[in-house]
Chains A and B, each alone.
Chain A
Amino acid sequence: MALIVEVLDPRTGEVRLRRRLDEGPVTLGRGYDNDIVLDDAYADARHARIVSDETGALVIEDLGSVNALVGPGPGGARQTRVAVSPGVEVRVGRTRLRFRDPDAPLPAALPDVPASAPPTPLPRWVGTWWGQLGVTALATAALAWVTWLGSYTASPGSEVAGTTLGILLIAATWAGIWAVASRIVVQRFRFFGHLAVVSTITLAGFALVAVDEWATFLFPDGAWKNFLAGVAGLLLIAALVAGHLALSSTMSRRRRWTAGLATCAVVLAIGAVFTLVEDRSFSDVAAFSANLKPFPARWLPTATVEEFGQVEGDLKTQGGCPADDD
């Protein structure tokens, strides 16, 4: 009767070697002239052999080794001869041998599917080529348009092209870094997915800047506006980080946003440090808040000259008093 012997690794228990046994004899030991060589300091050079007995059944026999065989059964008694059959385990030195029936039934093979990607919890279009290409093209166009509007030279072409390509390159590098991170963590590059995330946030950023500029123009005195713009800007940063993490990790939505908000906290902290340093430093440069826009004069919200006088009073009480500084 044929059997399969499995030699198990002494430490990990993983199968190191499988061999079919028919009649024998098969010798086992540390010596290189054995049929099965054991890398085991507790095994003799020629430790044991497997042979067929008179009935044709396989047995393993000790060849006078130091540690003999440790057979199955309670207590792990040392033995010199053990009959082997499927399911039996015998120890030679510290190496375990396990015997199996070559005809034992096996479960059906697993179907080979591509490594399953974690489901993308981003909007569907981010995963499609047309979505990625579309949003990137849109952001590039917006970038070029904004650059063109902000330039007032006679031929702004080179300036627009240079700025647009430069920023596009930076965005591509940024997406590339995230793509490498994705490749490491989830085995997928998703470069264009990351580019789509950057592009989306850039578009949202342009919208935010436009709203802020118009608000600054129409309501130059609103302190609430700076606060709102700051919060919206931070949320965009959080969304950017969360978006990239969605493509490059298996984090849950909650953890992604936590990571995004943590990034915002770091940005805020750095900003706060700079503000603290700035506050102490003196500047003789005045900030003329501007963002002038073409807007029909008759709809423009305005103050009277007298109300402007109130501004002056505020400036004075805000700390123009020299005594405060000494």
Chain B
Amino acid sequence: MSAPSARLPLIALGALLAGAPGLAAQESVTVTPRVFRRYGERVVRIQVVESGSAAKVAVGSGFFIDDRGRLVTNYHVVADLVHHPERHRAELGDGSTPGDTVAILAIDVVHDLAILQAAARPRAHFTLGPAPVNQGDRLYALGHPKDLGLSIVEGTYNGLLRHTLYPKLHFTGSLNPGMSGGPAITSDGRVVGVNVSTAGNQVSFLVPVDRVIALAARLETPGYARAENLLDEVARQITAYQDVYLDSLLTASSKTVDLGPYRVVTEPAAFFRCWGDVPRETDLPYERAEHSCSTDDEVYIAEDQQSGVVELTHELITTSALNPLRFFALYTSLYQRDNTPSGSEEHVTSWRCGTRNVRTETTPLRATLCLRAYRKLAGLYDGVVKVAVLGHRNSGLVSTLTLSGVTFQNIQRLTARYLGQIAWR
């Protein structure tokens, strides 16, 4: 769990940006040690310990943001404490000094942030504020990679990612597990973002500092009180967040693509990525084509539970060699295949499914909806809608919409929209 989870699929970027040679290299020789000496003490190691066994279950990093002992880290560093506060505690350093225990003040599960309160006043802290940077600027990420002691990683700022559900900065530099929650700063000590995840090969991601400022500001609102049970707050935030992106999904203006004789929806929103695949297997008496779209982002809830994933897959099969009965045996097996996201008993109930033959405006469909509830996050569900277009002797389309961590109303709303958007041309 100490790892900032690799949340993006590895995408080949071609030649990786390396540190510029010459002048820049010379400069870094003098600047990097200075940044480390000057700002290192503002960064701390955070560990979450299982009280019973006194064994650490997570190690990450954090940094002080004021002189009252408030510090910032990632939500996923302290997720165990959120889920089982009775069994865990969070400590600064190696926990050897009494009074190092820290408490959670506020969380932002969607942007993967948490603000903690330390008992003692820090010797130094960062001051949050706007940090104007341009693509290509040097950034220095601080943290405890693989729990090997405070380290500094030099890298390049590459701007805000496009096509993401929530804002993320692209940092070209090697972030490693354990650096989660540490700051990425400019050479003059301004925080640009919070280390959060990596896709390997120097492709790393930061939470923009304005999200941290927003969360810190929430703490200052008069009458702010932390939810007694932080899981209620997790559920509330995820529920509020999904309305933002689900509203624009699968509306009448959604793009469509022709797949064989069918018209299906594609790229339901800008933050989706779509792929197509037509496997050429000449020894089969049928042809299969696949088109799928998925959100790249997901919201980390716990080690084995993610939310916010929306996935759309269309599988077309056609045949000229199989008779209708044999073709429909194939169609049946394709439909029956379980392609639902996995889940653990701690977090979700078992699936419950209901099936009907449904007639939309253009075509009859076989439709199944499977639903499972989140055990700890009231009002949130995973939903999978699968449909098969009926009525054709030698072609079929199996289409699946997967929604995770959404409200029941949203599942109903999107199911209805989704069924209406599959058409026979």
A286 interface residue (CB < 8 Å to B): yes
8 A Cβ contacts from B317-343 to A: 321-322, 324-333, 335-338, 340-343
Contact call A297/B364, Cβ cutoff below 8 A: yes
Query: Which of the candidate stretches A9-17, A167-175, A309-317 sits at the interface with the other chain?
Result: A309-317
Taking a contact as CB atoms under 8 Å apart, the answer to whether A284 and B343 are in contact is yes
Contact with A along B372-396 (1 / 0, CB 8 A): 1111111001001010101101001
Answer yes or no: B51 CB below 8 A from chain A CBs.
Answer: no
Alpha-carbon separation in the docked complex, A293 to B357 (Å) = 12
Per-position binary interface string of chain B over residues 245-287, scored 1 when its CB falls under 8 Å from any chain A CB and 0 otherwise = 0000000000000000000000000000000000000011110
Collect the chain B residues with CB atoms within 8 Å of residue A325's CB.
Answer: 349, 373, 375
**Roughly how many angstroms separate A149 CA and B345 CA in the complex, as a whole number?**
38
A294 engages B327 (CB within 8 Å): yes
B354 at the A interface (CB under 8 A): yes
A238-269 interface mask toward B, CB cutoff 8 Å, 1 = contact, 0 = none?
Answer: 00000000000000000000000000000000
CB nearest neighbor in B for A318: B352
- Give the complex CA separation of A74 and B124 in angstroms: 131
| CB contact between A287 and one of B322, B349, B351 (< 8 Å): that residue | B351
CA distance A319 to B344 in the complex (A): 17
A220–B369 touching, CB < 8 Å? no
Given A316-B408, A322-B378: A287 and B373 within 8 A (CB)? no
A152, A295, A311, A320: the one contacting B326 at CB < 8 Å is A152
Inter-chain contact A283/B351, CB cutoff 8 Å: yes
Contact B285 A153 (CB under 8 A): yes
- Inter-chain CA distance A209–B345, complex, in Å, is 34
Interface residues of A in 272-326 (CB under 8 A from B): 282-297, 300-305, 307-309, 311-312, 314-316, 318-323, 325-326
Pick the contact of B329: A152, A289, A316 (CB < 8 A).
A152
B370 at the interface (CB under 8 A from A): yes
Q: Among A220, A284, A319, point to the contact of B356 (Cβ < 8 A).
A: A220
Q: Which residues of A contact B360 (CB under 8 A)?
A: 305
Q: How far is the CA of A301 from the CA of B390 in the complex (A)?
A: 12
Report the minimal beta-carbon distance from A25 to chain B, rounded to whole angstroms. 94
Residues of B within 8 Å of A284, CB to CB, are: 340-344, 348, 350-351, 372
Task: Report the Cα distance A149→B340, complex, angstroms.
Answer: 28
Q: Shortest Cβ distance from B216 into chain A, in angstroms?
A: 32
B373 in contact with A288 (CB, 8 Å): no
Q: A315 and B352: CB pair below 8 A?
A: yes
B330 engages A316 (CB within 8 Å): no
- The reply on A221 being an interface residue by CB < 8 A is yes
Interchain nearest-CB distance for B407 vs A (Å): 11
The answer to whether A153 and B370 touch (CB under 8 A), given A284-B342, A286-B340, A294-B325, is no
- Cβ of B368 < 8 Å from any Cβ of A? yes
Question: Distance (Å) between the CB of B275 and the closest chain A CB?
Answer: 23
Q: Name the residue of chain B whose CB is nearest to the CB of A293.
A: B328
CA gap between A322 and B283 in the complex, in Å:
48
Whether the pair A322, B376 counts as a contact (CB closer than 8 A) is: yes
Query: How many angstroms between the C-alpha atoms of A284 and B371 in the bound complex?
Result: 11
B16 CB within 8 Å of chain A: no
Residues of B within 8 Å of A150, CB to CB, are: 326, 329
Enumerate chain B residues within 8 angstroms of A291, measured Cβ to Cβ. 332
The interface residues of chain B lying within 8 Å CB-to-CB of A323 are: 378
Closest to A297 in B: B391
Kindly state the interface size class of chain A when it binds its partner: 35 or more
Q: Which of A152, A308, A326 contacts B375 (CB 8 A)?
A: A326
Does B419 count as interface, using CB distance less than 8 angstroms?
A: yes
Residues of A within 8 A of B341 (CB): 284
Flag if B356 contacts A308 (CB, 8 Å).
yes
Cβ contacts under 8 Å, A110 to chain B = none
Q: Specify the chain A residue showing the minimal Cβ separation from B417.
A: A305
Give the CA-CA distance A326 to B347 in the complex, in Å.
11
A297 to B357 Cα, complex, angstroms: 10
Q: Is the CB of B366 within 8 A of A319?
A: no
Q: Are B345 and A282 closer than 8 Å at their CB atoms?
A: yes
Q: Who on chain A is nearest to B380 by CB?
A: A322
Asked whether A322 and B373 contact (CB < 8 A) given A152-B327, A220-B355, A309-B416, the answer is yes
User: A148: CB under 8 A from chain B?
Assistant: yes
Do residues B367 and A292 form an inter-chain contact, with CB atoms below 8 A? no
Report if A120 contacts B (CB, 8 A). no
Q: Which B residues are in CB contact (< 8 Å) with A109?
A: none
Whether B240 sits at the interface, judged by CB under 8 Å, is no
Structural contact, A308 and B326, CB atoms closer than 8 A: no
Instruction: Find chain A residues with CB under 8 A from B374 CB.
Output: 322
Measured CA separation A296–B390 after assembly (Å): 9
Cβ of A151 under 8 Å from chain B: yes
| A106 contacts the other chain (CB 8 A) | no
Q: Which of A151, A290, A297, A316 contacts B371 (CB 8 A)?
A: A316
**In the complex, which residues of chain A have a beta carbon less than 8 angstroms from the beta carbon of B330?**
152
Q: List, sorted by A's number, 12 A–B pairs whose CB atoms are closer than 8 Å.
A: A221-B354, A284-B348, A284-B350, A284-B372, A288-B335, A301-B357, A302-B359, A308-B356, A311-B369, A312-B371, A320-B349, A325-B373
A interface residues with partner B (beta carbon < 8 Å):
148-154, 217-218, 220-221, 282-297, 300-305, 307-309, 311-312, 314-316, 318-323, 325-326
Query: Known pairs A152-B322, A282-B350, A293-B325. 14 more at Cβ < 8 A?
Result: A149-B326, A152-B285, A152-B329, A153-B284, A282-B349, A284-B343, A288-B335, A291-B332, A295-B391, A297-B390, A300-B391, A312-B369, A319-B352, A325-B375
